[in-house]
Amino acid sequence: MTDEFHEKIKMTLVQLRHFVVVADIGSFAQASAALFLTQPALTRSIQSLELELGGTLFDRLGRRIALTPFGREVLNRARLLVSDAETLRHAGKALHAGLIGTLRVGLSSAPGALLSTPLMRHMAEHHPRLKVEISRGNTAVLIHALREQLLDAAIVDIRDMRPSADLRVDLAFELGAGFLVRKDHPLARLGRTVTLADITAYPVASTPLSDEVARMLIARYGPEANPDDMVTLRCDETMSLADVAQHSDAILLTISAVAPGLVPLPVVPHLDATGRFGLVVAAQRQEAPALGIVREHLPNWLGNVTAHQALRE
């Protein structure tokens, strides 16, 4: 579309608004004051609109005016167009501010367990007209969906990501991890540090771990800590694994904050591990306006999580 076309549309909407105001007030003089226009400028606007529409809108009866039959027909449609334009203007501002529209966020296992509830609760309380869609899955699945433009952003384990120019990682954060058990687990009642041999005497549960984490475990505890051999219960859903550990002798290897009902085992040597996560977006794509809400509040949501974790420990 040319600039001339856009200018014509802009002027036509202004002229229609002028027409509606004159029709409502019934006086060019009073309408010009309400519109902050001179009366000659308002008269030229209405005359231009009449010329474009091909008919007379008002009968001039001395100092009074009255709508012509043609003007009455045009008025109903003009009201709709002016109203729709105003609605569209407000909708555009709301979309730009992230107050309405759709936000599609992917969350891998641990971020999903930590952030799904605070994210949805915040949107429900503060942005009730914004449609939020949360997708759950492993990092590879979510990154593929992000590249296919099925997601606006993903919060995933960035150790599982391969460096790529088409993706950008923002707001990277780390959370402490450990071997977690229920409070009355036999190993928790020993009153001493435990070894990997103690741990592997029980079922070990975990989500799929990155190669980097696997190398760290093997370096610290030996080849017996290879997740391919050590982990006997593997699932993408952290909360399901946490529930299993809460009601059995299984030992869960995960981010401590996702399972507040479990306690960390004191392992020798000390695990001293963290999970590294980040908000991932497409580097060359314009972001969804509502993503700014997530950027703003993600540190607070994580701060609340780590505060609860510190109190528990």
Radius of gyration of the chain (CA): 32
Nearest in space to 245 (alpha carbons), one of 199, 212, 313: 199
Go through 16-38 and write b for each residue having 16 or more CB atoms within 10 A of its CB, e for each that does not. Answer: bbbbbbbbebeebeebbeebebe
β 251-255/167-181 pair status:
antiparallel
Distances (CA, A) of 215 to 126, 163, 185, 209, 228: 43, 19, 28, 10, 12
Contact predicate 154/168, CB 8 Å: no
Q: Label residue 285 by pLDDT band (50, 70, 90).
A: confident
Q: What is the mean predicted confidence (pLDDT) over 13-27? A: 89
Residue 92 has pLDDT above 90, yes or no: no
Distance CA 171, CA 174 (A): 10
Q: Which of 76-85, 97-106, 118-127 has the highest mean pLDDT?
A: 118-127
Say yes or no to pLDDT of 295 above 70: yes
pLDDT, mean over the chain: 86
Say how far apart CA 113 and CA 207 lie, in whole Å: 12
Element (H, E) at 77: helix 69-96
pTM, two decimal places: 0.65
User: Which segment of 58-72, 101-115, 183-197, 233-247 scores lowest on mean pLDDT?
Assistant: 58-72
Instruction: Give the model confidence (pLDDT) of 250-283 as tens digits.
Output: 999 999 999 989 999 999 999 888 889 999 999 9
Q: Can you list the alpha helix ranges (DSSP code H) found in 97-179?
A: 109-126, 139-147
List domains and CATH numbers for the chain: 3-96 (1.10.10.10), 101-312 (3.40.190.290)
| 32 contacts: CB under 8 Å, gap ≥ 6 | 38, 39, 41, 42
**pLDDT band at residue 194, thresholds of 50, 70 and 90?**
very high
**And the tokens for 135?**
């997708």
Q: Which amino acid is at 80?
A: L
Angstrom distance (rounded) from CA 238 to CA 111: 9
* pLDDT exceeds cutoff 90 at 102: no
Tokens read off for 40: 């000659």
Q: How far apart are CA 33 and CA 25, in angstroms?
A: 11
Q: Where does the pLDDT of residue 5 fall: very low under 50, low under 70, confident under 90, or very high at 90 and above?
A: very low
pLDDT value for 309: 44
